[in-house]
Amino acid sequence: MARGGLDDKIHPVGKLAAIVTALAEDGVAIEDALRAVQLSPGALASPKTRVSINQILWICREAMERAHDPFFAYRAGSRMRVSTFGLFGFAILTSTNFRQTVRVAAKYHELTTPLAGISFREEAACGIWTVDPEPHPLIDARLYRFLVEMQFGIHVSLHRDVMGPAFKPTAFRFSYPAPMPAQRYREAFSCDALFDQPSNEMAFDATLLDAVPPLGDRLTSPTVLKMCDELLEEFDLRKGVSGKVREALLANLAEPTPIEDIARHLGQSPRTLRRRLQEEGASVQKLRDELRLQVAIKYLRDTDVTVEEASNVLGFNEAANFRRAFARWTNMSPQQFRAIASNA
């Protein structure tokens, strides 16, 4: 899961700006697109602007509704270049070999304002990226598909920036059913497109990893990676007390953690912790419910566990209590959510 809360404005505006720019090219007025997230057009150009995960997801939803291009998500992702991602982009450019490049990309992906988790492996002479959208109540089946295809577009663009413009995936695999004839995907993505697969994956020829990056620098790379580590630490500071409490709660989400234990862990009194959380509009119970919801969504969306099993994992003493809590959080039952999440 991404660091901080979904409303924490700790992320650079680059990804959101790229989506809005792509929408403008598709004929949507920038002011109209930004109205949903209460940003001005001028804020898109300011390096000081910080946005939240929720704001970016709302822009993605706007794009789903307003864009005319059925492959808008992929093409919007393809607009995002190494330069879009600041220090992260510089880190992958200066890596001294391509296997280091993919390790750096996976490790510091959090600096790109992630809407999906990513992982990399080599298998059967293929390099394979796996993409898994973050659990979030806004992410229904359509938005899930949008995020996967946008992330694939980003991956292709960054590989071409780093490995050269001739880079081409050998296949895309999608965990959802084909929303249109698969041949249209093959034509749009210029490679095989397979649906109803176990996971979302982009495959490419692993021999490309044996080449030497043209901009790799043995002296510069360690310095840039140290800066990336410092930036991740800065994210930790920006996420405030709420973020630290989230980490403490995640250590054992199935058991209620007394505020006294969390306060002791953070070196504060319970009274001080309550006050600081209140200043951030949070409470231990609210944060615990947010985390339980995120984990519940992931179980219901991505696994076959029963509602009763999910209930036990999340620390509910009865499945009925879990059903009531889930309905309170999302205005639908776990079964309804699972049905919606499984249908594009």
Q: Which residue has the tokens 């210029």?
A: 190
CA angle at residue 144 from 336 to 101, to 5 degrees?
A: 145
CB 178 within 8 A of CB 149: no
Instruction: List the end-to-end C-alpha distance of the chain, in Å, as a whole number.
Output: 23
Q: For position 250, what pLDDT does the model report? A: 72
Q: For position 217, what pLDDT does the model report? A: 84
CA angle at residue 99 from 298 to 106, to 5 degrees?
A: 25
Q: How many helices and strands in the chain, by DSSP H and E?
A: 17, 7
Q: List pLDDT tens digits, range 275-300.
A: 988 888 888 888 888 888 888 887 78
CB 73 within 8 A of CB 153: yes
User: Residue 34 gets which letter from DSSP?
Assistant: H
Q: For position 123, what pLDDT does the model report? A: 94
CB 201 within 8 A of CB 172: yes
Q: Say what angle helices 220-238 and 98-107 make with each other, to 10 degrees.
A: 10
How many residues are given for the chain?
344
CB 105 within 8 A of CB 92: yes
Taking the CA atoms of residue 224, residue 225, residue 226 and residue 232 in that order, the dihedral angle to the nearest 10 degrees is 110
Q: For position 344, what pLDDT does the model report? A: 47
| pTM of the complete model | 0.76
CB 313 within 8 A of CB 252: no
Low-confidence ranges of the chain (pLDDT < 70): 1-5, 234-239, 251, 342-344
Q: For position 337, what pLDDT does the model report? A: 86
- Which domains occur in the chain, in start order? 70-233 (no CATH), 240-341 (1.10.10.60)
User: In the chain, which ranges are E strands?
Assistant: 11-12, 50-51, 116-123, 126-133, 171-173, 192-194, 200-205
